[in-house]
Amino acid sequence: MSSTWNNNITFSVFGESHGPAIGVCIDNVPPGETLDMDKLMQFMARRAPKKDKTSTQRREKDMPQIMSGFFNGKTTGTPLCALIQNTDQHSQDYSNLSKLARPGHADYTGALRYRGFNDQRGGGHFSGRLTAPLCFAGAVAGQILEKRGIYIGAHISEIHKIKDDSFDPIRTSRDDIISLSEKEFPTISDAKGRRMVADIEKARMNQDSVGGVIECIAINVPAGIGSPIFDGLENSIAQLIFGIPAVKGLEFGAGFNSAKMLGSENNDEFYVNENGHVVTRTNFHGGILGGISSGMPITLRVAFKPTPSISRPQQTVDYSAMKNETLVIKGRHDPCVVPRAVPCVEAAVNIAVLNHMLQYPNF
């Protein structure tokens, strides 16, 4: 199913960028969980267009209305459906896109898949706007996890060729995570963040865009969560992360670097720590072994391509007439999707972790 994720938790994302509303229906949320709606709105606001120049000028309140599954301030256990009205569409801006395939977008592939019947205004169901319902679901999952002491956070690890510092894969704390979530531009090093902001602005001035990498960490996930082979934590996280538009790569722990290492370097030796817990001295495995959490922080990095919507003229095809054309994209677009994608990555990991937590008796 294109837009349904079916595991211990099932959730369906629906809607099109310029339709009446987008939303999400989540099945198997545990009952009796309080939701702090202010905190939920703060989470979603991190995904919403920024007021500065790093992102699109489009403004949306992105105010989710809960239709079901929430009663007297708590989840009911029955399906939780939230709706986000679309209120600020400028549909006319997209009028010349109807037949011209925007390079790097799903216009052409989507038209083939749906035989031309899909709503292509603003990307339709393929729009990055569909990450808003993902963030709603992720915010709910995150609040449930935080009550169990599990914190999941992310930062902008790279923009173009500028790198931020990395999470400490052993000692990153709850406070580190909360502090990042409160930053307007979430980098560990503020100085590097400022260089990134300048680089994004430079791309915007050049009618261009830049890509980047987001690093995510999950702390205090109990050991023993997940399953081997096709239902491990990596598989679930991967299936959700590749649901975020523009993602081109994903790695856990040392990731692609582990391919350059010797076994004697990459193996994380176990020891019993001062609290009597089994831990590892290093964390190249990224907190997951055999699809199952080891109790060490779960670490992952997600690569995003540059925003495909750039305002420079581009060569492309009119796929209805099957002829070559020049395209000039109007409308408002982020010169870099990475800052707004930070909560999306967190949301995907929140959902995957909660999903596997539900399977265990001690939840």
Asked if 75 is part of the footprint of its own copies (rule: CB under 8 A), the reply reads yes
Give the whole-angstrom CA distance, residue 337 versus residue 162: 15
Cβ 273 to its own copies, closest distance in Å?
A: 10
Instruction: Choose, by CB under 8 A, the member of 36, 57, 63, 71 that binds its own copies.
Output: 71
* Binding of residue 283 to its own copies (CB under 8 A): no
One residue of 57, 65, 179, 189 binding its own copies per CB under 8 A: 65
Q: Which of 44, 188, 292, 341 binds its own copies (CB under 8 A)?
A: 292
**DSSP label at residue 246:** T
Of 46-54, 87-95, 173-181, 312-320: span binding its own copies (CB under 8 A) = 312-320
Q: Which stretch binds its own copies (CB under 8 A): 8-16, 45-53, 144-152, 178-186?
A: 8-16
Does position 294 interact with its own copies (CB under 8 A)? The reply is yes
Residue 169 contacts its own copies per CB under 8 A: no
Spatial distance between the Cα atoms of 357 and 236, rounded to a whole number of angstroms: 12
Can residue 49 be called a binding residue for its own copies (CB under 8 A)?
no
The site string for its own copies over 203-242 (x = CB under 8 A, - otherwise) reads: x----xxxxxx---------xxxxxxxxxx-xx--xxxxx
SS3 280: strand
Nearer to its own copies among residue 1 and residue 175 (C-beta): 1
Start-to-end CA distance of the chain, whole Å, equals 29
Strands 80-85 and 162-163, sheet pairing = unpaired
Instruction: Answer yes or no: are the C-beta atoms of 328 and 358 closer than 8 Å.
Output: no
Residue count, binding to its own copies (CB under 8 A): 143
Give the shortest CB-173-to-its own copies separation in angstroms: 23
* Helix (H) / strand (E) containing 201: helix 190-205
Nearest to 188 by CA among 157, 212, 213: 157
With H, G, I as helix, E, B as strand and everything else as coil, classify residue 97. helix
Name the strand (E) or helix (H) holding 233.
helix 233-241
Residue of 63, 112, 198, 205 interacting with its own copies (CB under 8 A): 112
CB of 213 to its own copies, least distance (A): 5
Give min distance, CB of 278 to its own copies, in A.
5
Among 81, 132, 196, 200, indicate the residue that binds its own copies (CB under 8 A): 81
Residue pair 309/209 in contact by the 8 Å Cβ criterion: yes
Compute how many other C-beta atoms are within 10 angstroms of the C-beta atom of residue 165: 13
For the chain, the farthest-separated pair of C-alpha atoms sits apart, in whole angstroms, at 70
